[in-house]
Amino acid sequence: MLRLEHAGFRPRNARAGWQEPVDISLEVRAGEIVGLAGIMGRAAPELLTALYGAAGPGAWSGMVEIDGEPAHLSSIRGARGEGLGLVNRRPARQRADAARQRGRNLVLTVLRRVSPFFLMSRAREVSLAREAIHGFDVRPPLPRFPSARSPAAIRQKVVLARKSPGDLGSCSR
């Protein structure tokens, strides 16, 4: 469980337009998907970016815990290691991703597992893609299905499956 109590994040270097998230309290349980809504400019995107470790160097205040232990969210790798994932509301690479087959989209974040020694293992790619497709109930369950032909809701499932930490196809936290 991710728990924040009166938490805030202050980046080390000031940035134009950055709204510091302050006095945030929330709980997110394993398997939950959370979206924040509210008035633009009220730090929701900044909070999510900071939780995912993508806000750059900075300092957390208040309490930030995962499974009752202090969280280490100073980098994307650290956040993913803690079991967190992030789906941007406007992914910059969305059009490029739509041109790929679903299976290739699903394994983008785990290429080291698919291509040891820089050689792509098509069998491993398909195996991991099938695992993710099953775990996130992506339909039709076809790794070679073109992403561009999928409805938006299914493309979001593919993004979630691709961003999920740990094993593809399961949300561990």
What is the CA 129 to chain-centroid distance, rounded? 17
CA dist., res. 51 & res. 60, Å (int): 10
CA dist., res. 130 & res. 150, Å (int): 16
Residues of the chain with pLDDT under 50: 92-96, 165-173
Q: Residue 122 CB: number of other CB atoms within 10 A?
A: 10
Q: What is the pLDDT of residue 96?
A: 43
Q: What is the pLDDT of residue 167?
A: 47
What global pTM score does this model have? 0.61
Q: What is the pLDDT of residue 25?
A: 93
Q: What is the pLDDT of residue 113?
A: 65
Asked whether the beta carbons of 19 and 44 are under 8 A apart, the reply is: no
The per-residue pLDDT for range 62-96, each reduced to its tens digit, is 999 999 999 988 888 888 888 887 776 655 444 44
Q: What is the pLDDT of residue 131?
A: 85
Q: What is the pLDDT of residue 111?
A: 64
